[in-house]
Structure 1
Amino acid sequence: MTAFDFELVIGDKNWSSWSLRPWLAMRQAGLPFYERSIRLRQPDTKAQILPHSPAGTVPALKWNGLVIPESLAILETIADLFPMKKLWPEDAGARAMARAAAAEMHAGFTGLRREMPMDILNRYPGRGHTEEALGDARRIVTIWREARLRFGQLSDGDEGFLFGRFGVADAMYAPVVTRFVTYGVDPADLGDEDGAARAYMDAVLRLPAMQEWTAEAQDEMKERGLL
């Protein structure tokens, strides 16, 4: 497959948490793709998206005459097409828990998403620390710790991610890592007694693709006079 077999339509890198998920996974997996960026928060944003995605949302993956909306569906498609990239754990039990963690992120944590929207380049310590949002954050820390302690740390070739190697579950939670940094959420205050969740956050932030995304977010915001 070549770069033009896949076209990934995404939104602004500073704000679009759903766009980050498939972009990060595809970059980490070394999969070539053409990237099309749509500027968000503009009067014509939806009109700009619709020719590329009938759902009117980003991200969308254009492949083989199909348009695949929704981050998790894109990630599942990539994992199916490239099983050698091992974006799901090979062990059946670990794979089941990774799918559950990814699905919970996709469907839940509305309080956290509402009160602490992704804003990678800014810092708002303490903002959005409502009871509901922090309850979501506590649940997320629990998921991270249980995955790391039960599966990640015991896997062959552990690289510091939830189930050892970087995979779909990590792509789904990467925007949350940035939210914790932006809004000053300390995992130690949410049950991370031994620092497993904090170490996981550091592993995500060290990813070359994550650093590339952040640098490009900065470039976009500078170009638009917003930084």
Structure 2
Amino acid sequence: MTTLVIGNKNYSSWSLRPWLALKAAEIPFEEKLIVLNQPDTRDQLLQASRAGLVPVLVDPDGMTIWDSLAIIEWAAERAKVPLWPEDPKARAIARSVSAEMHSGFFHLRKQCPMNIRRINPPKERDDAVIKDVIRIDEMWRDCRQRFGEGGPFLFGAFSGADCMYAPVVTRFRSFSLPVSDESKAYMDAVLNHPAFLEWEEASKNEPWTNPNSEVD
């Protein structure tokens, strides 16, 4: 059986990404949750992977994969339901926007951490954060306009790109960040995806709080 090691569902944005991918790909897996910011967290993380981070996937043969995007690619190769667009051009763009998320948007990620349970009223944000928001909004609209036929997600059907941006959707909601109507519609689609709703419900029932992520 495949095992996915994750952190707290309310806070661990990188864990959410491959979890959604495995669900969307209809790959059965066992879930192991490591509570973050605890005295023994570091030891548990190092037992899961020498990288000392979540998520970690352990495949049925015992091979360990310790990167969110790599886990999504692993799932895509075994998926019962395609995780990337079939059209080569759309697939290339889907991987490009996913890679940009993987390595970018530092200011948004630092100043607006994922906290699914929290909804803050609108407030003025740092210029660097707004720059990230504008870029993401433009990207979402471009993907929807060019490749969005056939469904409400970035490339029509739910894909690995949506897995990568789902935590951003929660950040935009939690921090009431300004986006276009097209992006709001896309956000609604992600927030109402059955797999995300399952994750969100579990996050609401977690008893742990991370003060570093409880910000306005």
Query: Is the shorter-chain TM-score for this pair beyond 0.5, marking a shared fold?
Result: yes
How far, CA to CA, are the matches of 2:168 and 2:133 in structure 1? Answer: 9
Q: Does residue 72 of structure 2 align to residue 80 of structure 1?
A: no
Identity in percent: 48
Q: Distance in 1 between matches of 2:199 and 2:65?
A: 22
| 1:52-91 map, 5 Å | 52-63=48-59, 64-82=61-79, 84-91=80-87
Alpha-carbon distance in 1 for matches of 2:36, 2:20: 19
Q: Which amino acid in 2 is paired with 1:113?
A: R
CA distance in 2, matches of 1:216, 1:171: 17
SS in 2 for 1:87: coil
Q: Report runs of 4+ in structure 1 exceeding 6 Å deviation.
A: none
Say how many residue pairs are matched: 210
Distance, in Å, in 1 between the alignment partners of 2:158 and 2:173 is 20
Q: Which runs of 5+ in 1 are unaligned?
A: none
Give the direction of change, closer, same or farther, for the CA distance of 1:22–1:127 in structure 2 (3 Å limit): farther
Deviation track 1:74-130 (CA, whole Å, cap 9, x = no partner) reads: 001111122x42111110100010000000000000000001000010122346821
Match of 1:185 in 2: 177
One-letter code of the match for 1:125? P
Matched, 1:220 2:216: no
Name the CA shift for 1:36/1:128 in 2 (closer, same or farther; >3 Å).
farther
- Whether the aligned pair in 1 keeps the contact of 2:57 and 2:71 (CA below 8 Å) is yes
1:162 lines up with 2:154 in the alignment? yes
Taking a change above 3 Å as real, the CA distance of residues 59 and 127 of structure 1, as seen in their structure-2 partners, is farther
Question: 1:10·1:19 contact (CA, 8 Å) conserved in 2?
Answer: yes
Q: Is 1:208 aligned with 2:197?
A: no
Q: Would the aligned equivalents of 2:25 and 2:76 in 1 still touch at CA under 8 Å?
A: no
CA distance in 2, matches of 1:12, 1:178: 15
Unaligned 5+ runs, structure 2: 211-216
Residue in structure 1 matched with residue 134 of structure 2 by the alignment: 138
Cα distance in structure 2, aligned partners of 1:134 and 1:43: 35
CA distance in 1 between partners of 2:130 and 2:68 (Å):
24
Partner SS for 1:8: strand
1 or 2 for the larger relative contact order (CA 8 Å, sep ≥6)? 2
Normalising to structure 2: TM-score of the pair? 0.93
* Contact in 1 for aligned 2:114/2:167 (Cα 8 Å): yes
Q: Root-mean-square deviation (CA), in Å? A: 1.6
SS at match of 1:9: strand
- Shift of residue 186, structure 1, vs aligned partner: 2.1
Whole-angstrom CA distance in 2 between matches of 1:225 and 1:106: 25
